[in-house]
Amino acid sequence: MHVAVAGGAGFLGSHLCDALLARGDSVVCIDNFVTGSADNIEHLEGHDRFELMKHDVTEPMVVDGVVDAVMNLASPASPKDYYELPIETLDVGSIGTRNLLELARHHDARFFMASTSEVYGDPSVHPQTEDYWGNVNPIGQRSMYDEAKRFSEALTFAYHRAHGVPIRVVRIFNTYGPRMQPDDGRVVSNFVTQALRGEPLTIYGDGTQTRSFCYVDDEIRGFLALLDSDETGPINIGNPGEFTMLELAELVTEMTANEAGIVFEPLPSDDPKQRKPDITIARDRLGWEPTVDLRTGLGHTIEFFRSALAG
């Protein structure tokens, strides 16, 4: 396949580019490097099936040649980034998604939309199934990300119904692994970098809120399983293993031998109290489920951050 990956220099996007190339596909990586990093794709420079297009997806674009699939991972995805870039986050979810949908429509290509578990908001249903409509504060402090993704899903389905664009919609749950940015504000990167620096780990709230963490290799396998299927989605791709923030902090502390302890700060507004995917559809229709446990994935992630911080 010939695949255009928007946001291809980001954490997930760069791993996706690697996986596509590894199975023999050709990749056009589209990124404006606002939150993506050239370091993430440096190893792909000179690859005969990889092309980099430095471009802002909120501007119309042209990709020459055949395009079989357009995969939209273009968006700030960490709290630090979307708090700093609220308007840009809304623009990329709306204008950017439409431009990428037009690109797919022009090439008669399938369109892959990377959505998020944030569309479920602070859920009143647990675990979260794809038919749950969510509990999102549309004007809350994190609404720029939640509502951008909810709108991008609606726009994707509108193009599917109005123009027949073949679509795939994935909802991502708390993915972690190498190439995360040390200062991106996500809980895994926060804990690991604090621990490696010998600092206390910061927990917001009382630490009883839960998340489900999916290692990046498992997540990307799920992406490709959905891309290659005939399923429209949305489909949850995440690890149903559920951990409290205290449990995660204790595990990171143990694995890094950090002795600085834990400090507690007030919980940010609209922070979900629990998050766990129901992956029944992914198992039954895609034959996918995660295989990397949290301790193993954290080991790889800690080693990446150890090298990154030393560098």
- DSSP letter string, 219-275: HHHHHHHHHTSS----EEES----EEHHHHHHHHHHHHT--S-EEEEPPPTT--S--
Residues 80 and 192 in one domain: no
Q: Is residue 5's pLDDT more than 90?
A: yes
Which CATH number characterizes residue 14's domain?
A: 3.40.50.720
Residues 149 and 249 in one domain: no
Residues 251 and 112 in one domain: no
* Number of structural domains in the chain: 2
What is the rounded average pLDDT of the residues 30-35?
97
Question: Are β-strands 210-211 and 243-244 bridged in parallel, bridged antiparallel, or unpaired?
Answer: antiparallel
Q: Is residue 270's pLDDT more than 90?
A: no
pLDDT value for 272: 87
What is the rounded average pLDDT of the residues 217-234?
98
pLDDT value for 311: 80
Average pLDDT, the chain: 97
Residues 196 and 153 in one domain: no
pLDDT value for 269: 81
Looking at residue 12, its amino acid is L
Residues 220 and 200 in one domain: no
Residues 66 and 90 in one domain: yes
Which CATH number characterizes residue 195's domain?
A: 3.90.25.10
Owning domain of residue 67: 2-178+214-240+276-292
Band (pLDDT 50/70/90 cuts) for residue 133 is very high
Residues 115 and 263 in one domain: no
Cα dihedral value 156, 105, 68, 61, nearest 10? -100
Span 84-116, pLDDT tens digits = 999 999 999 999 999 999 999 999 999 999 999
Return d(Cα 210, Cα 160) in angstroms, integer: 34
Backbone angles phi, psi at 189, to 5 degrees: -65, -40
pLDDT value for 4: 98
Span 197-207, pLDDT tens digits = 999 999 999 99
Residues 152 and 268 in one domain: no
Whether cis (ω within 30° of 0) applies to the bond prior to 127 is: yes
Question: Where in the sequence numbering do the catalytic residues fall?
Answer: 145
